[in-house]
Structure 1
Amino acid sequence: MRLQINLVLTFVLLTISSSYGQMESYEYKRELIGVQDQWHKIVIPKTMFGTLSRKLTDIRIYGITKNNDTIEAPYILQKLKDHTSIKNNEFKIINTSHTDTGYFYTFEVSSANPVNQMDLDFGQQNYDWQLQLEGSNNQQEWFTIIDDYRIVSIKNELTDFTFDKLSFPSSKYNYYRLQVDSKTDPDLQKVSIQQQNIVEGSLQDYAIKYQNSLENKQTKQTEISIELEHAVPVSFLKITPNAAFDYYRPVSIQYVSDSTLVGLKWKFHFNTLTSGVLNSNGNNEFKAVSTTTKKLKIHIHNQDNQPLDINSIQVKGYAHELITRITEPATYYLTYGHKNANQPRYDIAKFKESIPSEIKTIKLGDEIIIEKAEATSTSPLFENKLWLWGIMIILILVLGGFSFKMIKQK
């Protein structure tokens, strides 16, 4: 009876171990060229994203030893995005006054740390004001930091848009004086004075293969269709209108998430990538969660206004890199192309502080299609998790039956 139990266990374990983690279950591979040290950095090529799963969970690094054994090397996937740190400065408002030209607020900063940003919150709505910011160390001599800085608020049943953040070159003063060009009390309710430091990531430009603009008079929208050279992770768009007048247009940006063949034509299904406002007061840069796609559609809501002439559109995304640790001699390959692969879990993700700061970047070889053995041309029985759970339930029932039988005999 014990022999029967051991045979069942051995069968299940062998089945599970042979069903997962095999290079042959992936579609493509690229050789790692120049493996010498323990730690290596690999930059994922733009052309590779089209064959990766959307969540990038199907990347594996396998090594083939001299004895033809397969080993797996752990890695960490990094997206080289911006890192922002904000340090708030303590302050107090020591003076509030107004004249015929506007309202004035004087702030005393408790530390002499540099600042480069102010967040303002006014009780008034629907405003369009010019601001002036000055700095002083003794309140006798004032120096202009920014002049004719415009802030805007538009709030109605259709729109809720506010631009009230001041950004300026880093400055270090004991006192700051803000002038708001308003004839009525702006009702300043909240202020934060801070130093914002941005460590810029590595943005890559994506070439646009096709672009077409259409004016939809029924919906009062400008619809811009974009097709990129490759399917890539998009996280940034910059739209530059060619307009000499003020404008304010809500914008929604969509990406193709799926497609269906209907007859002889493909029907594309769109999801929202990001949204915002195209306006003459901003930089018209739109950031989004990194999403792999090849086709985009931009909707500019013109309402009853003249459509904008779009001068240019830039599409970008953050570079992705792998940090891998290799400890055994072998010929290593980056394998990918398995839509149902789960996110791997490696110990090195918990010990990032142990990773060296200086790591050599190695190159990847050309993409190679992984040949499938004839014996494994059909999908493994346990590639589907339902089959795995089924065999586990059967195992439990068999073991339970054996145990019950042994107890009954005793």
Structure 2
Amino acid sequence: MKNRLLTLFVLFSCGWTFGQMQEYEAKIPLNGISNQWHSVPLPIPVFDKLKQDLTDIRVYGTTKNDTIEAPYLLKVAKGEKVKKQVDFKLLNKASNAKGYYFTYEIPTIEAINKIQLHLKNENIDAKALLEGSQNQNEWFTILEDYRILTIKNNQTDYSFTELNFPNSKYKYYRLLLISDIKPDLDSASISLEENLEAEYQEYKVKGFRTANENKKTYIEIYLKQRVPLSHLKINVLSQFDYYRPISIKYVTDSIETEKGWKYYYRNLSSGILTSVENNEFEFPSTLVKKLRVEIQNYDNQPLKIGKIDAKGYMHVLVARFTERADYSLVYGNKNAPKPIYDIAFTKNNTPENLSPLVLGKEEMIPKTEKPQNKPLFENKWWLWGIMGLLILVLGGFTLTMLQKKG
């Protein structure tokens, strides 16, 4: 009796495991498990089958009579910026034929790499020269020919007034602004910004096409695969100065109509496309395959667009394996809820420098078709035959009753 119950339990467990796996689209075998903790880099093809919030990922392990769900943390290598404000004093303001000078003193020798200028001028185009010194006698160039620009009108409200430079340690800093109009510098802030560098994965742009219509330029960008995009760089070939509002959208859905395909878009980012900056746009990591960039030209000639660069943060799972089993990365289930694991509340206890697992080939998970309920009588002649038999029986019964009455 006990053996029968054990056999039934094993069969039920195996069936339940297979049923769990069937809810997902694909799996990738995980090889090389030798420790309790490992990293699992997510390959690009995985993202094509995932939900937008990436919650339909599981790490399942199977044995002869059980299934195991290994907990994991999803790590997105998006880096981190830490900004430390540095105290300073404005020593003097002066001007001569060269331009307008501002001299700052930092009481303690601390490294800085940013100076944010708060200008009252709504429209100013200036060049900046930044120098450093320990004694105000000998000055060393830190930045030169650095452009400062503010524009405000009915069409544009743009400001680029931050000086970025390599880490510098001087007691004194002298800023020269070369401008046709007097800079009205309200205040400044000096800081040290330390960056934990993000880890990116570059994506192949399958192609793009541009169209100019109603004083706008539309750029349709096609990526080779659906990927988690977080960074887009637009290389402009035009050599003249330009400042154009820009919006970046991605396709969320599409339907086929008599006139062709109709796409539905959602905003991803917006800003200014300008000759002053590098035209690199960052935004929250989003799964996309097709994008549209809209450039507002107003009454200006359209810009010539060159190369489009796309990249996104590296996505890695940190998984814990406590039992021996054959493990697979399983993914692709629109109805899967967000998993809740204990390790999410103890992230600080996760070891570092984990060895990555070796991923096998992607395997599609076969689906078992649900049995269809067949009609009781597939052939209509059976139905006619039964109806005829019923008529004969009822007719015979009626004749018998009539004879008895007679």
TM-score (norm 1): 0.83
Tell whether the 8 Å contact from 2:46 to 2:331 is kept in structure 1 after alignment: no
Output the amino acid matched with 1:139: Q
Equivalent residue number for residue 295 of structure 1 = 290
The one of 151, 154, 159 aligned to 2:151: 154
Deviating more after overlay: 369-378 vs 348-357: 369-378
Equivalent residue number for residue 166 of structure 2 = 169
Equivalent residue number for residue 308 of structure 2 = 313
- The Cα of 1:264 is off from its aligned counterpart by 8.1
The answer to whether residue 197 in structure 2 is matched with residue 203 in structure 1 is no
Give the Cα–Cα distance (whole angstroms) in 2 for the partners of residues 200 and 356 of structure 1. 20
Give the Cα–Cα distance (whole angstroms) in 2 for the partners of residues 183 and 239 of structure 1. 31
Equivalent residue number for residue 76 of structure 1 = 73
Give the 5 Å matches for 1:96-115: 96-115=93-112
Equivalent residue number for residue 223 of structure 2 = 228
Give the Cα–Cα distance (whole angstroms) in 2 for the partners of residues 203 and 336 of structure 1. 22
Note the alpha carbon deviations across 1:125-147, whole angstroms, 9 max, x for none.
11101111111111122222111
Equivalent residue number for residue 261 of structure 1 = 256
SS across alignment from 2:48: helix
Equivalent residue number for residue 39 of structure 1 = 37
Give the Cα–Cα distance (whole angstroms) in 2 for the partners of residues 43 and 376 of structure 1. 38
The one of 112, 137, 140 aligned to 1:140: 137
Give the Cα–Cα distance (whole angstroms) in 2 for the partners of residues 356 and 277 of structure 1. 42
The one of 28, 39, 46 aligned to 1:48: 46
- The Cα of 1:184 is off from its aligned counterpart by 4.3
Equivalent residue number for residue 82 of structure 2 = 85
TM-score (norm 2): 0.84
| 1:377–1:272 Cα change, 3 Å | farther
Equivalent residue number for residue 369 of structure 1 = 364
Output the amino acid matched with 1:315: A
- The Cα of 1:292 is off from its aligned counterpart by 0.5
Give the Cα–Cα distance (whole angstroms) in 1 for the partners of residues 236 and 295 of structure 2. 11
SS across alignment from 1:117: strand
| 1:192–1:376 Cα change, 3 Å | farther
| 1:376–1:363 Cα change, 3 Å | farther
Give the Cα–Cα distance (whole angstroms) in 2 for the partners of residues 135 and 376 of structure 1. 80
- The Cα of 1:324 is off from its aligned counterpart by 0.2
SS across alignment from 1:51: coil
Note the alpha carbon deviations across 1:271-306, whole angstroms, 9 max, x for none.
111111111110110111111111011112111111
- The Cα of 1:345 is off from its aligned counterpart by 1.4
Q: Identity of counterpart residues, as a percentage?
A: 45
Equivalent residue number for residue 238 of structure 1 = 233
Note the alpha carbon deviations across 1:200-241, whole angstroms, 9 max, x for none.
21211111113111121xx21111111111011111111111
Gaps of at least 5 residues in structure 2 are 1-11, 374-406
Give the Cα–Cα distance (whole angstroms) in 2 for the partners of residues 41 and 61 of structure 1. 12
Output the amino acid matched with 2:29: E
Equivalent residue number for residue 252 of structure 1 = 247
Tell whether the 8 Å contact from 2:124 to 2:181 is kept in structure 1 after alignment: no
Give the Cα–Cα distance (whole angstroms) in 2 for the partners of residues 153 and 95 of structure 1. 24
The one of 330, 353, 358 aligned to 1:358: 353
- The Cα of 1:374 is off from its aligned counterpart by 5.2
Output the amino acid matched with 1:242: L
Equivalent residue number for residue 266 of structure 2 = 271
Give the Cα–Cα distance (whole angstroms) in 2 for the partners of residues 307 and 30 of structure 1. 47
Tell whether the 8 Å contact from 2:233 to 2:281 is kept in structure 1 after alignment: yes
- The Cα of 1:156 is off from its aligned counterpart by 1.2
Note the alpha carbon deviations across 1:56-89, whole angstroms, 9 max, x for none.
0100111102x32111100000111122122221
- The Cα of 1:313 is off from its aligned counterpart by 0.9
| 1:182–1:212 Cα change, 3 Å | closer
Task: Indicate the structure (1 or 2) with the bigger Cα radius of gyration.
Answer: 2
Equivalent residue number for residue 22 of structure 1 = 20
Give the Cα–Cα distance (whole angstroms) in 2 for the partners of residues 211 and 145 of structure 1. 39
SS across alignment from 1:84: strand
- The Cα of 1:185 is off from its aligned counterpart by 3.8
Tell whether the 8 Å contact from 2:102 to 2:174 is kept in structure 1 after alignment: yes
Output the amino acid matched with 1:313: I
Gaps of at least 5 residues in structure 1 are 1-13, 379-410
| 1:174–1:377 Cα change, 3 Å | farther
| 1:252–1:32 Cα change, 3 Å | same
- The Cα of 1:183 is off from its aligned counterpart by 5.1
